[in-house]
Structure 1
Amino acid sequence: MVKYKVTVYTGSNFSATTLNKVFIKLVGEDGESFRTKLVSLKGAASFYRGTSSKFSVCTDLDIGKVLLIELDKQPILLTPKDAWFVDKVCVKTPDKKVYTFPIYRWIDDTNVHRFREATALRVIDDTHHLGRYSREQELKKRAEDYNWHVYADGLPHCIKTSGLASLPCEVQFSFTKTSEFAFTAATGLLELNLKGLANQRTLWKDFEEIDKVFCNKSTDISEYVKKHWREDAFFGYQYLNGNNPILIRRCTSLPDNFPVTDEMVFVHGCKSFSDEMQKGNIYLCDYKTLDGVMTNVINEKRQYLVAPLVLLHKTPDDKLKPIAIQLKQTPSDDNPIFVPSDSEYDWLVAKAFVKSADFSEHQLNVHLLRTHLLAEVFSLSLLRNMPMVHPLYKLLIPHTRYTLQINFLARRLLISDTGVFTQFASSGGKGMFTILRRSLSSMTYTSLCIPDDIAERGVESLPNYYYRDDGLRLWDIIHRFVKGVLSYYYKNDQEVKDDVELQKWIQDIYEHGFLSQDGTGIPQSFSTVEEMVKFVTMVIFTCSAQHGAVNSGQYDYGGWMPNTPITLQQPPPIKKGTATEASFLQTLPNVDTTVQGMATMWLLSRQSSDFAGLGCYPDFHFSEEKPLNLIHTFQEELIQLSIKIKERNKSLEVPYTYMDPSEVENSVAI
């Protein structure tokens, strides 16, 4: 008789406990145990949440190296079956060797579930017939649980689900996350003391009235925004470190449809465009994706959205200031080019139309498409094509946490027919899908990889660009980590080519995420270790750092509505000299629209108490010494970068925290 000691770790999740009977079978290279009921002195408390319990499993003969375990649970007579969350199972052999089996999932049925030992194995390494069989069965079950769905033509595909309850248990929010999210969503207006204003379809009377509402809830940065939103230098600063830091690019020649002259902007004749462009001092922001988009109807009134072109000038004191704004793409007599020397409200109205356009560009392209929707594609393809034992699954699974559920909620609460964005943003409704389709069709692989994107936009030397500085350092840290881990498992390019699961993963991403579009630069397959490492780095960066950069500051920069109007009610001016404070207030969104936008941005900027920061790996997936050491090094480098960012921020008038690793979540979870 050979005795194996089995330790079962039940998760600490709310309601992770099971009172059902639990059975296990050990499967080894040389044999297997009988299906054994797990019984200990703890009795009914053996599988209580947050506990570990020890058991004995006996076999007639030594079963050799333990390859996998089979778990199932059955309800006790007259008691209902329940859901049980298992963290892991450890098996100690008579010769003191310990095998660990990571699980980290719910078992809520009476079926047999197979789990592999923690050593990472690519399919080409998995030579034992039992290992291959369990691998095939796992992926077959995943393909049934995780299906692709076309939410809207021309958009990345998403998970097919009939409702929130039909999402697989292991990708749903924790009880803590569910409770906090539901509470914040339900009480957002109340928490901001805005409940009585949600149905007030009136114009703002003056800025003092807006301030009274805004003062109910503010942050240090949102207070700064309120004080400085009219200033040109702060307008320019937001293109570097605000919610949309990826639009600005160096201008080396003026676009044909933007006929700005030296006389318009350099009134004293001391500078010229050609000289300033050659010196790298002229920058362009072009919102052409918004051109001709059908705008929303809010409170039975057609809203307005423009597709502006904005020129910015880097001044000798390293400030970035707007010097020309054209609100529509086609030059004409009724499409004037606004400049800082225009009247106060002519210039302020022009900047407000730009900021409103930037809101739509940011929310739909930069935030929703480039982080949320892509992260869902990365996650879903991983779950469909990678078994738990694959090294890429182990590397990427922390970066999928909560993504499928948060995107389901976004589709239901934000962009559905009754969603907040659909009801209250100028680009809600049909216009939203037009913008998303255009954005996806023009997306490139270069733009998703920050080192390439910075170089392509020509902004390598632009001063005070903290998004770039912190982002490049984070990319380098992530890239070193990914390269270290994947190079441990893939010794040469041929091994990459031969991994059919890896190739299916990237093929699914190309097909379902980028809709098989040629010319984007998105790889359809991997030929080299280097290609794979770069793409996986991009995936982790997108799901963590990039999402943090474009999500976390939404209330900071949008809480004070005049800085980021989510819609505008009057058409863009067709001539100069007509704007006043009264006409500006009439152009801004109504009270009800404003407070709905504020409450939503407040919700989307809140950090959950079960926040999992970048580099946080609470679950035991890797067991080999090399990847475990690399994880430790990765975490240490993130800590050091966080210290440097915090130290730099002490000297900044507006601290940039959105890419501080201690503030960046591991996944798209909000």
Structure 2
Amino acid sequence: MDSFELYPFSSLFNPVSTLFLCPSIAPVRHLPHLCPFSEFVQTHWKEDSFFGYQCLNGCNPLMLRRVQRVPPNMAVTADMLQPFLSEGSSLEQEMEKGTIFLLDYEVLEGVLSNIINGKQQYLTAPLCLLHCDHQGLLKPIAIQLQQTPGPQNPVFLPSDPEPDWLLAKIWVRCADFQCHQLISHFLRTHLLGEVCCIATLRQLPEIHPLYQVLMPHVQTTLQINIQARTSLLAPGGVFDKSVGCGLEGITVLLQRATERLHYRSLCVPDDLEDRGVAALPNNHYAQDALKLWAALHRFVSHWIDLYYTSDSKVHQDKELQNWIQDIFSEGFLGLTHTGLPQNFKTKTELSKFITVVIFACTALHAAVNFSQLDFNLWMPNCPATMCCPPPQAKGLVTMQDLLSILPDVNATCSVITTLSLLSQPGKNFIPLCQYREEWFRSGAPRELVEALQKELKSISMYIAERNRFLELPYPYLDPENIENSVAI
């Protein structure tokens, strides 16, 4: 795989730019035209430790989950995994210590794959076990490419021939591309913001305190989502022409993901606790997200205290109750198992939900959107589709075979051009919580905003100082890099 080289034909940030993936005789040691992130990815993408790093700090940090048992549909045994665990330890002991983690892409099972350039494409729904070793490095230790175990669905291991193991990891990264783009990105930020924006416009007058605190964070969502529906997600768009799930898969994936979505997964502290990843070493997303969540939650709680003197005032606010009912019934389809509030009885409940909305439309969007070109520019690290079916046995592929399995050049160009556009800040970029609306300009609201901005400045300084000492900085949740709404 060292025989891959990138050829840029114009500036990557020009919408008509193209980027070709071609075989080369000699390996590429340095690409001065690419950003440091992309050079780092190109150098390290085959490493197991970098695969694990991306589960925490890549463009989709929401999939990894600690497990206490091996999934029953994953055909692995303790003896099979023993060589990849800490010396003298066992799988059972590692699970008790909380060092075994899982990526499960079951949401992709059975999704019809696209046809690109007249050729059938392929998707899998992998299961991937990972282990956090005594050095704090997270590494994959077993990959099963389909959900149902069987003789034609082998479990790939780090001890397998290099092409087999690398190909298994590439299949996982391809599955992650689908889930990142449509679920972690589009559903959990764009569509959540759209649902809340529409409900706010329907149910809350401009003088309502929640209209005032929410609208700066959702006001651009409708415009950008309409543009996405008429271009990226439309016939002839990038998903239709270049992505493995295609247009038919979009509807299926969004429907399944909505049914599986739970309110706790939208609340940063709850989500990190439930997935058991907050304490993992070098989990910069988790560290930064918790700091931002705490700052936003304090601001929202104080804002609500200004206008609701008691819990009963919240309960009696019919406009507010109509607002959350609109979100629950129309946006979340009345699915009670999601745990989404149907009404608010306390200020605490209300503060938490408003923080969810603001965080999703600002910090989470920054984490999953502005990182994607950095990690996906080197296409083999995260292909948008695969041109051949997954292997049904080991030892059948070579490094050169991988070239024919990866996406076609024109599909790669289309995806990278799109990601280059999506990764640019909006033309009228407004940093996180830099409010311009008149109701923030005086009195107690202004004092709350000034206190929040001071706290965000402190977080920004902390992140900048930490990043000075990182081989690969994590800048995406620096408040100065977070846009105040979903604008791109």
TM-score of the two chains, using structure 1 as the length reference: 0.69
Aligned to 1:7: none
Aligned to 2:15: 188
Deviation sequence 1:623-660 (CA, Å, 0-9, x none) = 65111100000000000000000000111111011111
Aligned to 2:331: 513
Counterpart CA distance in 1 for 2:122 and 2:24 is 21
Aligned to 1:255: 71
2:417 to 588, 592, 599: 599
Residues 614 and 665, structure 1, Cα contact 8 Å, conserved in 2: yes
Question: Which deviates further from its counterpart, 659-668 or 458-467?
Answer: 458-467
Deviation sequence 1:227-282 (CA, Å, 0-9, x none) = 10000000000000001101101110111001212222223873311011111111
1:283–1:267: structure 2 CA closer, same or farther, 3 Å change rule?
Answer: same
Higher RCO (Cα < 8 Å, 6 or more apart): 2
Counterpart CA distance in 2 for 1:538 and 1:608 is 22
Aligned to 1:236: 52
- Residues 1:463 and 2:281 aligned together: yes
Counterpart CA distance in 2 for 1:251 and 1:233 is 19
Residues 218 and 559, structure 1, Cα contact 8 Å, conserved in 2: no
Deviation sequence 1:460-508 (CA, Å, 0-9, x none) = 3211111110001100000000000111100111111111111111111
2:37 to 209, 221, 238: 221
- Residues 1:371 and 2:189 aligned together: yes
Q: CA RMSD in A?
A: 1.9
Residues 308 and 329, structure 1, Cα contact 8 Å, conserved in 2: yes
Residues 81 and 91, structure 2, Cα contact 8 Å, conserved in 1: no
Give the secondary-structure state (helix, strand or coil) at the position aligned to 2:336: coil
More helix per residue: 1 or 2? 2
Aligned to 1:20: none
2:203 to 359, 371, 385: 385
Structure 2 residue ranges without an equivalent (≥5):
1-10
Counterpart CA distance in 1 for 2:484 and 2:448 is 17
Counterpart CA distance in 2 for 1:589 and 1:568 is 6
Residues 13 and 421, structure 2, Cα contact 8 Å, conserved in 1: no
- Residues 1:657 and 2:484 aligned together: no
Percent identity among equivalent residues? 46
CA-CA distance at 1:208 after TM superposition: 6.5
Aligned to 2:82: 266
> Which amino acid in 1 is paired with 2:288?
D
Give the secondary-structure state (helix, strand or coil) at the position aligned to 1:267: helix
Aligned to 2:8: none
Q: Which has the larger radius of gyration?
A: 1
Q: How does 1:364-513 map to 2 (within 5 A)?
A: 364-513=182-331
Aligned to 1:246: 62
Residues 298 and 424, structure 1, Cα contact 8 Å, conserved in 2: yes
1:477–1:205: structure 2 CA closer, same or farther, 3 Å change rule?
Answer: closer
Q: How does 1:55-66 map to 2 (within 5 A)?
A: none
Deviation sequence 1:541-584 (CA, Å, 0-9, x none) = 01101111111111000011000100000110000011111211
> Which amino acid in 2 is paired with 1:470?
D
1:576–1:207: structure 2 CA closer, same or farther, 3 Å change rule?
Answer: farther
CA-CA distance at 1:187 after TM superposition: 4.2
Counterpart CA distance in 1 for 2:24 and 2:328 is 48
Counterpart CA distance in 1 for 2:27 and 2:265 is 37
Counterpart CA distance in 2 for 1:207 and 1:270 is 44
Counterpart CA distance in 2 for 1:468 and 1:267 is 30
> Which amino acid in 2 is paired with 1:569?
C
Q: How does 1:76-95 map to 2 (within 5 A)?
A: none
> Which amino acid in 2 is paired with 1:251?
V
> Which amino acid in 2 is paired with 1:461?
A
Counterpart CA distance in 1 for 2:79 and 2:462 is 44
Counterpart CA distance in 2 for 1:185 and 1:411 is 24
- Residues 1:335 and 2:162 aligned together: no
Structure 1 residue ranges without an equivalent (≥5):
1-183, 198-203
Counterpart CA distance in 1 for 2:426 and 2:359 is 20
> Which amino acid in 2 is paired with 1:546?
L
Residues 365 and 436, structure 1, Cα contact 8 Å, conserved in 2: yes
- Moved runs in structure 1, 4+ residues, more than 4 A? 184-187, 207-212, 214-217
Residues 304 and 426, structure 1, Cα contact 8 Å, conserved in 2: yes
